[in-house]
Amino acid sequence: MLFRRIIFCALFIGFLSGLLFTAIQSISVSPIIFAAEQYEVTEPEVAPVQGHHHGEGASSEHHHDQEAWGPNDGMERTLYTLLSNVLAGIGFAAILLSIMSQLQLKGVANLSIVKGLAWGVAGFIAFFVAPGIGLPPEIPGIEAAPLDNRQTWWLLAVVASGVGIGTLAFAKGAYKIIGVAFIALPFLIGAPHSAGPEFTHPDANVVAILSDLHHQFIVASGVANLAFWLALGALCAWALNRQVLNDRYAEA
Amino acid sequence: MSSNTISNQAISSKATLSPLVQTVGALVFGAVILFAVGFMPVDAAHNAAHDTRHSLAFPCH
C-alpha cells in the first residue's frame, strides 16, 4: 500500500535526518540560544512564598520552569530536542515523499539522487528562506508581533513559495508566471512586525550583544537547515525509487 | 460469517484507494506532525520542542 510505504520511509528518513540536524544544531545553533537566554527579561516575579523559596538563587532559573513543565537543561533538554527534530524530519519527509510520489506517478517528475538534492534546496527555500525573509529566525528575548499573526503569515509564506517553486519547475512556458506570482504573494501582503524595539532588555550593551548573537544565529540556523534539507531531499529521492514506487513492493 | 464478509470488503476497498487519496493522506500525516512540533499552543509541547522551533525558524513565543 502506497500510504504505508510513504509513512514507513518517512519514519526512517526522519530519524536519520533528525540525527544529522541535532548534531549540527548542538555544535553551532543551540549554544547561541543558550547564550541569548541568559539575557532574557523575566516577568516580574510574584513575591516568593515565605520560607519555602531560596529567593536569591532562583532568579537565574529558566523562566519556563515556573509556568509549566519543561525539560531540565542538559541531557534531558537535548533529548527532547532530538525527539522534536526527528518528528519534524518525519513530517517533512512525509510531505516530500507524498508530493514526489504523486508527481512521479503522473509522469511529471523523474527523481534521482541529484534531483532529490534540488528538491532539498527547494524545501530549504520554501520552509526556511522565504518565511525567514519576512520573519527572520529568532533568538529568545526578541520582541515580535503577536504569535498568531506570525504563524498565519509563516504558513502562507511556506505554502505559497512551495506551490510557486513547484509551478516554476514543472509548468510549461508562460504558465511559469503563475509560479512567480505565488512566490511574490506573501511579500505583497507583508509580514507582521512589532512596532516596538527588537529587544526589550533595558541595557544598551546587552542589546548590542543580543543583536550580534542574532546575526550569528541567522547564519548558523541557515547552514543547519540547508544540511537538513539536502539530507531530506536526497534520502527521499533514494527511498522513492528504492521503496515507495518500487514494483517489487507494490502489491496488486 | 457476515462480519467476515464485511471485513473482507473493508480490506479490499482499502487496497483500492486511489494513489491520489493515499498520497494526500500521507501529506496530511506529515502536516499534522509538523503542527504538533512547531505550532501546538500547549506549554509543555512548546517547552519540549522549544529549541527545535527556534532552530527551524518557526514562529515561537
A199-245 tens-digit pLDDT: 888 889 999 999 999 999 999 999 999 999 999 999 999 999 999 99
Q: For A133-150, what is each residue's pLDDT tens digit?
A: 999 999 998 888 999 999
Three-class secondary structure of residue B10 per DSSP: helix
Q: If you search the block for the grid coordinates 534521482, which residue do you land on?
A: A112
Reported confidence tier of residue A85, pLDDT bands at 50, 70, 90? very high
CA–CA distance, A127 with A214 (Å, rounded to integer): 19
Residue B12 resides in a domain = no
Average pLDDT on B48-59 reads 96
Q: How high is the pLDDT of residue A43?
A: 56
Q: Which residues contact A190 (CB under 8 A, 6 or more apart)?
A: A134
Reported confidence tier of residue A57, pLDDT bands at 50, 70, 90? very low
> Helices H, strands E: what count in chain B?
4, 0
Domain count of the fold of chain A: 1
Domain that holds residue A244: 2-40+69-143+197-249
For the cut 60, the answer to whether the pLDDT of residue A65 exceeds it is no
Interchain pair A147, B44: CB under 8 A: no
Residues of B with CB under 8 A from a CB of A: 14-15, 17, 19-20, 22-27, 29-34, 36-39, 43-44, 47-61
For the cut 60, the answer to whether the pLDDT of residue A106 exceeds it is yes
Three-class secondary structure of residue A136 per DSSP: coil
Q: Which of B23, B33, B61 sits opposite A101 (nearest CB)?
A: B23
Domain count of the fold of chain B: 1
Interchain pair A33, B54: CB under 8 A: yes
Interchain CB contact of A33 with B (< 8 Å): yes
Q: How high is the pLDDT of residue A141?
A: 86
ipTM metric = 0.86
Interchain pair B56, A252: CB under 8 A: no
Backbone phi, then psi, for A62, in 5-degree steps?
A: -65, 130
Reported confidence tier of residue B6, pLDDT bands at 50, 70, 90? low
For the cut 80, the answer to whether the pLDDT of residue A251 exceeds it is no
Interchain pair A94, B26: CB under 8 A: yes
Q: How high is the pLDDT of residue A127?
A: 98
Residue B6 resides in a domain = no
For the cut 60, the answer to whether the pLDDT of residue A54 exceeds it is no
Interchain pair B55, A30: CB under 8 A: yes
CA–CA distance, B2 with A67 (Å, rounded to integer): 55
Residue B48 resides in a domain = yes
- Is the distance from CB of B30 to CB of A92 less than 8 angstroms? yes
Three-class secondary structure of residue A121 per DSSP: helix
A183: cell is 512566490
Residue B1 resides in a domain = no
Residue A103 resides in a domain = yes
Residue A191 resides in a domain = no
Q: If you search the block for the grid coordinates 502536516, which residue do you land on?
A: B31
Reported confidence tier of residue A42, pLDDT bands at 50, 70, 90? low
Residue A124 resides in a domain = yes
CA distances from A192 to A60, A198, A215 (A): 32, 13, 20
Domain that holds residue B41: 18-61
Mean pLDDT score of chain B: 83
- State the burial class of residue A6 (Cβ atoms within 10 Å of its Cβ: 0-12, 13-18, 19+): buried
B/e letters for A137-146, b = 16+ CB within 10 Å, e = fewer, are bbbbbbebbe
List, as ranges, residues 189-208 from A with C-beta within 8 Å of B.
none
Q: How high is the pLDDT of residue A169?
A: 96
Substitution target from A95, A99, A214 for chain B, most B beta carbons within 10 A: A95
